[in-house]
Structure 1
Amino acid sequence: MLHPTAPVAGVDGAWYLDGLDLLDSTSVAAQMYVATAHLNDDVVAIGSHDYPHVRQFVRPTRRALLLASVEERQDGSEGSLYVLDAAHARRLLALDRPVERLPIPTAYQLDDLTFAVVRSLITADNALGADDRLLDSEEQGMEQHLQKERSVVARESVPGLSQVGAAWLGSRFCSRHALQWLTKSAAPSALWGRAQIGEEAVPLLLFRQQHWFIDQFLQLAAGGEDQPGMALCVPEDVVAASPIYDRIMLFLALAWLEMRGLVTWICSEPEYAKLDEFVLVPGQQAVVGTWMRARDTIWSADVAVRKAQVLDYDLAVRHARANSVLEGSSSTDRLRSAVDYLGLGPVWKTLPGRCRELGAYGTVDMLQARSRLIGLEELDKALRFVGSLAT
């Protein structure tokens, strides 16, 4: 929900962003200004007559967003909104850098793609920023848990932690636990994740520690015979119930995994949705670490080495690989299958081009991540990778 106000000094609008499941709802100050299109320069611009108010709006150190509104043009094209973080506007309007206009790239047009990015970053960033001191304290106490093969921490043991904060803490522990307890005698070949909707894939795209974990996993998997992969269970009814912007976020996560060299498999049978998250060394070991959709716990970790246990996890991966709805021998083919399965056909004609534009300018110049735990660089790489699929 967006409740803008007229540009009146001291009066700001608010943009309310609701989470579906993982993301905590939040709000951000927002102000709308009339802008003019400068298509030859691929920008829209807020005029200098608004600068006194814009400077006052962006001066506070809080997070805020500028929305530039371009009215319907003479050629009949519809009007649209463009978004820019106040921190970037503050830099552009610095007194020692006088400018005749405040430009916002047309790549930052507010549509399903940019809304997915804005919503994901702001909700996750606000939650992690609020939890920063608590997360730092809890991470310092992880060592005692990492020494145990089995570890479970109840959600109620860290009161006041946001859902995103709990997700970061759980994923951080499970990543470190997996790397500590993986066997040194053979290479892991597969990951099993529990993300079903785009909101649950946000950690893959935004959490720096998830980027680090995938780097470490790929290094270990490099000695194996098979190309490593990641399996997810995404039932058809879950896809049908997800808004299109959320499905776009899930697609970007799949693209990022493929870009990093992981084959993606998606099975659709609901019975696999409750399976624990794990890292598999075929025939030898499965290191379990569940943090996604773990309502009563922040994490639940274990090491399975008995053959009967390992076989269950092995069979799940074999099933996902053999029955994946993502068909094809190449990343391009699998991602095109993902477009069909996720119902992105209606937007696919324009989505690669929009990803290419947004990736070229960079989300890091549209939004500013405040939390040290979040990075936008990998998201930009995923956008550029999707953009290359249409070439």
Structure 2
Amino acid sequence: MRRTLFSLLLRERDLLGWEAFCVHFAAIGRELARETGNRRLATASVGRTTFDRWSSGTWSGRPRGEAAQILERMLGYTVEELFSLTPDAGEPAAGLESVAARIGSRWPTSTLLLPAGGPAGIWEISGRQRLDGTSAAVHLLPVIRRGEEASVHGLDQDGLRDLERFLRPARRGFLVGVEEGRDDVVYVRDAAAARRPALPVASAAGPMSIPSAYLLDDLSYGILWALTQLDDGLLSDDQALDAEQTLLETYLSLPRSAPSQLLVNLSTIGSSWMGSAFCARHIQQELLDAREVPIFWTREQTGEEAACWLFFRHKLEYLRALERFHGATAQTVRVFCLPESAVAHSEKYERVLLLLAIALMERCGIRVRVVPKTEYSDVDGVALVPGQRAVVAN
């Protein structure tokens, strides 16, 4: 499909985002206003809807008045040239819009925004009840499956330059490979991995590839979905969490719970990490002299809640610390309350995360049991030493 020169110039000059475009548009408008004395040029603006229509690549109208003057100065072409279809414009891979739609329909917590139908955009990832949501840059690429790899193919020099510009910034980003002829088969690779070393325009090592094991399915999406949100949430609270950790020993020495006021100012994920770290230390401290094998009750009912077991290091250290209770005739037990309704209303990728957390516990020698009774859903997490004590973790 042929596209307008305007949409191609936006992609070439990294102006596909409405905000970036408006900055340049306003600056040129003020410059023209000083030169011509026409004050309306200094206040001219472009709304998001209008920009989306212009940048779609197929709009056949013509901007008028001050907007036309600014665009001609800004891009160096007449509006007739800018909004005429180019005869030989290189196109991004076909079906990118359908790929974005498929990903959004399969995983409702995921939205791919591709401005002007180009290959680069934003991947918005939203949480449900416990995760705050985040976003990452994304670049879609055509690939062909060859054995254990999906190799990028069909990129011309412009496409390679676009990819280099995408990989250059030090930010969170993903490369999404779309298998040729099958827009329902996609692979995901962290842009940071592809950035080391950055892809040259002409690579002597051959085409860049994505391991076929990185197929985007419920397993890989669930990990990507949880890990990016947890990581970005912790990074946003990094300074506060570092300062707060120095006070943990003080809290643990107190005879009663005394949560810091600082926890109120953390993100949902930051407060979850701090509370989880405190509870893990508290339980281990209270079980130091336990002689009986404890039984643990946990409140996690969804993959969103259970993901902390998979990605917080102190969780793994906590599980390993409990291995001292394991023996030839003894085994710790962790009980999950999983009402059928809670499982039925969770997405498949969330159930995968929950099962992975259970598998991790069993790998650490813990026997997992499940109670489906809804009336127990609000019982706090607790470590029970039969006949001795119950250590509450909330």
Do the two structures share a fold, i.e. TM-score over 0.5?
yes
Which secondary structure state, in structure 1, belongs to the residue aligned with residue 128 of structure 2?
Answer: coil
In the alignment, the residues of structure 2 paired with residue 51 and residue 187 of structure 1 have an alpha-carbon distance, to the nearest angstrom, of: 63
1:137 alignment counterpart? 243
When residues 224 and 281 of structure 1 are mapped into structure 2, their CA distance, relative to the original with a 3 A threshold, is farther
Match of 1:270 among 374, 379, 384: 374
TM score, norm. by length of structure 2 = 0.66
Which secondary structure state, in structure 1, belongs to the residue aligned with residue 196 of structure 2?
Answer: helix
> What's the offset of the Cα at 1:202?
0.4
2:186 alignment counterpart? 81
> What's the offset of the Cα at 1:260?
1.5
In the alignment, the residues of structure 2 paired with residue 19 and residue 131 of structure 1 have an alpha-carbon distance, to the nearest angstrom, of: 17
1:37 alignment counterpart? 145
**Aligned partner letter, 1:34:** P
User: What are the within-5 Å matches in structure 2 for residues 89-100 of structure 1?
Assistant: 89-93=194-198, 98-100=204-206
In the alignment, the residues of structure 2 paired with residue 230 and residue 27 of structure 1 have an alpha-carbon distance, to the nearest angstrom, of: 34
> What's the offset of the Cα at 1:97?
7.8
CA contact (8 A) 1:175 1:213 kept: yes
In the alignment, the residues of structure 2 paired with residue 165 and residue 97 of structure 1 have an alpha-carbon distance, to the nearest angstrom, of: 42
> What's the offset of the Cα at 1:239?
0.9
In the alignment, the residues of structure 2 paired with residue 173 and residue 19 of structure 1 have an alpha-carbon distance, to the nearest angstrom, of: 24
> What's the offset of the Cα at 1:12?
3.9
**Aligned partner letter, 1:66:** L
User: What are the within-5 Å matches in structure 2 for residues 87-236 of structure 1?
Assistant: 87-93=192-198, 98-153=204-259, 157-219=262-324, 221-222=325-326, 225-236=329-340
> What's the offset of the Cα at 1:152?
4.0
User: What are the within-5 Å matches in structure 2 for residues 340-351 of structure 1?
Assistant: none
**Aligned partner letter, 1:2:** L
In the alignment, the residues of structure 2 paired with residue 136 and residue 267 of structure 1 have an alpha-carbon distance, to the nearest angstrom, of: 37
In the alignment, the residues of structure 1 paired with residue 163 and residue 303 of structure 2 have an alpha-carbon distance, to the nearest angstrom, of: 33
When residues 244 and 185 of structure 1 are mapped into structure 2, their CA distance, relative to the original with a 3 A threshold, is closer
> What's the offset of the Cα at 1:149?
3.6
2:388 alignment counterpart? 284
When residues 185 and 3 of structure 1 are mapped into structure 2, their CA distance, relative to the original with a 3 A threshold, is closer
Which structure would you say has the larger Rg? Answer: 2
CA contact (8 A) 1:46 1:103 kept: no
2:167 alignment counterpart? 58
TM score, norm. by length of structure 1 = 0.67
> What's the offset of the Cα at 1:27?
1.0
1:297 alignment counterpart? none
1:355 alignment counterpart? none
For these two proteins, the number of residue pairs brought into alignment is: 281
Which secondary structure state, in structure 2, belongs to the residue aligned with residue 83 of structure 1?
Answer: strand
When residues 224 and 192 of structure 1 are mapped into structure 2, their CA distance, relative to the original with a 3 A threshold, is farther
CA contact (8 A) 2:149 2:209 kept: no
In the alignment, the residues of structure 1 paired with residue 148 and residue 289 of structure 2 have an alpha-carbon distance, to the nearest angstrom, of: 55
> What's the offset of the Cα at 1:223?
5.8
1:387 alignment counterpart? none
In the alignment, the residues of structure 2 paired with residue 214 and residue 229 of structure 1 have an alpha-carbon distance, to the nearest angstrom, of: 12
RMSD: 2.3
In the alignment, the residues of structure 2 paired with residue 67 and residue 183 of structure 1 have an alpha-carbon distance, to the nearest angstrom, of: 49
Q: Deviations over 1:247-294 (max 9, x none)?
A: 11111111111111111111011121111112222211221111xxxx
Q: Deviations over 1:88-134 (max 9, x none)?
A: 01015356984211110111111111111110111111101111111
| Gapped regions of structure 1 (runs ≥ 5) | 291-391
**Aligned partner letter, 2:321:** Q
When residues 61 and 239 of structure 1 are mapped into structure 2, their CA distance, relative to the original with a 3 A threshold, is same
**Aligned partner letter, 1:67:** V
In the alignment, the residues of structure 2 paired with residue 275 and residue 147 of structure 1 have an alpha-carbon distance, to the nearest angstrom, of: 26
**Aligned partner letter, 2:152:** A
| Gapped regions of structure 2 (runs ≥ 5) | 1-110
CA contact (8 A) 2:293 2:330 kept: no
1:368 alignment counterpart? none
> What's the offset of the Cα at 1:72?
2.4
181-190 or 78-87, which moves further after superposition?
181-190
> What's the offset of the Cα at 1:190?
2.0
**Aligned partner letter, 2:190:** D
Q: Indicate whether 1:70 and 2:179 are aligned.
A: yes
**Aligned partner letter, 2:114:** P
In the alignment, the residues of structure 2 paired with residue 135 and residue 81 of structure 1 have an alpha-carbon distance, to the nearest angstrom, of: 37
